[in-house]
Structure 1
């Protein structure tokens, strides 16, 4: 039996926290639906931007434990879009970096999916993160939307699937969209549920061979194990 193929979750804190929410978490949801089909390789780095991600991805791809990645999400922008501070990455460089990240994956035969930044509740964030604001790490909804929309265009131009979380949050959250966020930026359990749903929909549409229902479970169900164990 061959080694399990892998789905890479690569991004900033929103990716890093993918296993932390209850009653639903993105990481646990994916691990469950891909049981005995794909392993989930969780690589989230709080506070990171697309510039730093390039260096990190090189190391991930050269790590023996990262072999057999077949599909990956790339989720940066919440930090890049800061108006100031060391995390800020200008829009044009952000787009170049994201394109490079996708190309790096494709060089290894890995199928990329871009994830655009979600909605932002600035009032709540700045009430909680006073020190962040004082240090110039200021975010705005308009700039997050600009980075998301620009990434969407880049994805379309390069035939890369794009998950528009801003659109999905508005559509699914409606007037209660703020409940999809825990602190104004990071996702609540409900926010991760939307990302999970959108991710599986994107995989089904663009990479159907890796949609859970289309994949064969490794090793037979216990009822189907032959007495002589020849099918194990």
Structure 2
């Protein structure tokens, strides 16, 4: 552990989370904006479903930890929504079990501390043509949009019941023109354009949430943000310029 102790934001989920630090992903965007505000901790595992998440809840989020996260962003559903494989193996989780698994995740995370806030991301759509092309017969396609939508809807309904902030990725991505062509690298995982949408939705929820303290990057204190004689010298050659809040991104886009 290194100091000073910062607020912790944990990204917990499957490959949509694990890959969020790549290709100008949404996790990388958050890490950049919160660089001197909070630690963005990645706990994303490619291929995982809600079953595997439930198995390790106590290990990843121990209730006796000295410091508990201030925010946990959770994404499971895309792999759960796969249709059952004939072998009985694989990632598919029946809809009702998925609901109960997500309820267990939400209940556990809520119990960590009074300060821990939650945001759940629902299953996004997919581009079936990009995933399968013309090489896989319809009967062998285990991932489809109809199933994704069902899992997205029950996730949002559960979040409403549990008073958990939720983001409807199913709808958010489809608001983008030509979403099938611009949002996915392979029909499933997100391009930088798709990640921009996710990041904006997350930041919108954080900004509008009536949380105390506010967790929006532009409202949080900057670590070592005080003026210093060791800052860069200003244009007048006599004073220094405080650069502690420089993000090197177009900040209006993320406000």
Per the TM superposition, whether the score is higher than 0.5 is yes
Bigger drift between 9-18 and 150-159 goes to 150-159
Q: Specify the alignment match of 2:220 in structure 1.
A: 215
Instruction: Quote the Cα distance in structure 1 between the aligned partners of 2:134 and 2:102.
Output: 30
**1:143 pairs with 2:185:** no
Bigger drift between 64-73 and 77-86 goes to 64-73
Deviation at 1:106, TM superposition (A): 0.9
1:197 is aligned, of 197, 200, 213, to 200
Name structure 1 gaps, 5 residues minimum.
226-232
Question: Once superposed, what is the RMSD of the aligned Cα atoms?
Answer: 2.6
**1:97 pairs with 2:97:** no
Q: TM-score, normalised by structure 1?
A: 0.86
Q: How does 1:1-232 map to 2 (within 5 A)?
A: 3-21=5-23, 24-62=24-62, 67-85=67-85, 86-109=90-113, 110-127=116-133, 138-171=142-175, 173-206=176-209, 208=211, 209-223=214-228
Higher Rg of the two aligned structures: 2
Q: Can you list the C-alpha shifts for 1:121-156, whole angstroms capped at 9, x where unaligned? A: 1121123996xx89x670110010010011111111
Partner of 2:206: helix, strand, or coil? helix
Closer, same or farther: CA 6–147 of 1 in aligned 2, 3 Å: same
Q: Specify the alignment match of 1:230 in structure 2.
A: none
Closer, same or farther: CA 190–129 of 1 in aligned 2, 3 Å: farther
- Tell me how many residue pairs correspond in the alignment: 220
Instruction: Quote the Cα distance in structure 2 between the aligned partners of 1:197 and 1:106.
Output: 24
Runs of 4+ in 1 over 6 A off after TM superposition: 63-66
Deviation at 1:63, TM superposition (A): 9.5
Residue 61 of structure 1 contacts residue 67 of structure 1 at CA under 8 Å; is this kept in 2?
Answer: no
Instruction: Quote the Cα distance in structure 1 between the aligned partners of 2:107 and 2:174.
Output: 30
Instruction: Quote the Cα distance in structure 2 between the aligned partners of 1:43 and 1:63.
Output: 17
Deviation at 1:175, TM superposition (A): 3.2
Residue 128 of structure 1 contacts residue 183 of structure 1 at CA under 8 Å; is this kept in 2?
Answer: no
Instruction: Quote the Cα distance in structure 2 between the aligned partners of 1:116 and 1:95.
Output: 12
Deviation at 1:222, TM superposition (A): 4.6
> Which fold has the larger relative contact order, with Cα–Cα distance below 8 Å and residues 6 or more apart in sequence?
1
Name structure 2 gaps, 5 residues minimum.
231-255
Instruction: Quote the Cα distance in structure 2 between the aligned partners of 1:164 and 1:203.
Output: 14
Closer, same or farther: CA 9–66 of 1 in aligned 2, 3 Å: farther
Closer, same or farther: CA 41–129 of 1 in aligned 2, 3 Å: farther
Q: TM-score, normalised by structure 2?
A: 0.79
Closer, same or farther: CA 3–168 of 1 in aligned 2, 3 Å: same
Closer, same or farther: CA 214–123 of 1 in aligned 2, 3 Å: same
Q: Which has the higher helix share?
A: 1
